[in-house]
A and B are shown apart, each in its own frame.
Chain A
Amino acid sequence: MLTKEQLESYWGETRFLMVIVLFFWFLVSYFAAIISDFLNKIVIFGFPLGYYMGAQGSLIGFVLLILIYAKKMDEIDEKYGVKEE
């Protein structure tokens, strides 16, 4: 069992991580779409960057975000001694 303070700080860290993940989630999808006209001026290997972000870049971002989230949550669990087997 954790103390009340420990519980609060556990949830605080979890919530902070959630906000960070969703911030980057917004950045790679919506923000990239909003500025895609500008990004399209940059062309790499035939890919206009704005289009690329929508078609593939944001997806790579999503996968990485979930993997990082899972890893960070494990670290938080470990820190509070409640990591699962």
Chain B
Amino acid sequence: MANQHDNHETNEDVIILGDQEVLKSDLLTLNMGPQHPATHGVLRVEIKTDSEIVAEAIPHLGYLHRCMEKHCEHLDYRGVIPFVDRMDYLASMSMEWGYALTIEKMLGTEVPRRAQYIRTMIAELQRIASHLMFYGTYAIDLGAFSPFLYAFQDREEILRLFEELSGARLLYNYVWIGGVWNDISDEQLKRVENFCYKMEENMKKYDDLVGQNHIFVGRTANVGVISKDLAYDFGLTGPVLRGSGIKWDLRKDRPYGIYNEFDFDVPVGQGLKGQLGDCWDRYYVRVQEIFESIKIIRQCLDGIEAGPVMGKVSKIIKVPAGEIYMRTECPRGELGYHLISDGGKTPYRLKVKSPCFTNVSILPELAPGQMVADLVATIGSIDIVLGEVDR
């Protein structure tokens, strides 16, 4: 009887690896991520593995927590912008725009048309820069180094333009409440136009280099599949949601700024290389978004009007008492600002709904049953910035 019982136990303690049955051993706890908490902007995932298969993955957050929300309660409304920059440092312009829109809506400020065009153009350039960063780092995650350098070469041109406009390369403080800081010159607009042509050509080349490569497809297709229901359940946003085939983009569905005047498509994953919602689909959505952004920038360049770039805002901003929730479409998803004001000089409460935080929450759901190498591909395809997750 006891013998039978033993046999029964052994049969359950096996792993099915392909078509083989392997004996299950004790779980091995591994630490994926930084070796030191002071390493900035990295995700630490504690994984429990059996041989090559991940049984459990727990993302550990909080290494980059800077009390940003609490800090904002002691700053005047203009002083919050440098801190908002530091959330998603790869898409600072988009972060600022969301915050500026929140305050402008509360104040009822009219933003000049030229500033609206500049903001849209800048946000789309930032989206290209951010997706180029994804393209480069994702290729590194999967073992290709040169795409990273090509992506940075193009990203550098965007950063150079931003540096000339705002004075900084990463943390711009350029989009202000009521408009933008500096005006854009005709020479710079010409450069943006040239950049669009170059970028369109280059991106097709880069897609051939990485996205169509059979080895890359083998590593990403059918890996980390997020089904439509799962995407809805976890409240995913941005390219991760659109990769699962759901057509939802705030720029199209709930237009803010002047997005309702532009003509562009919302690319969604189509399951071209594998099942719908796999890593390759998320890569595909981001690459297609670069082309759509170029389309929007071209329309901006055609329509840009002369005029002031700063609206009428009082010297000391006092937001009327009340509450507002404003959301914008950032390169990584839906960013929301919930502002509560008591009529004073500082926000009473500023809560940020971060897209990366929601997107990283799906990791413990996706990881079990994956190979360790596939987990790397999955984390890379979600494309999170820890500055925004921890705030």
Q: Do A and B come from one complex?
A: no
Q: Which B residues are within 8 Å of any A CB, using their own CB? A: none
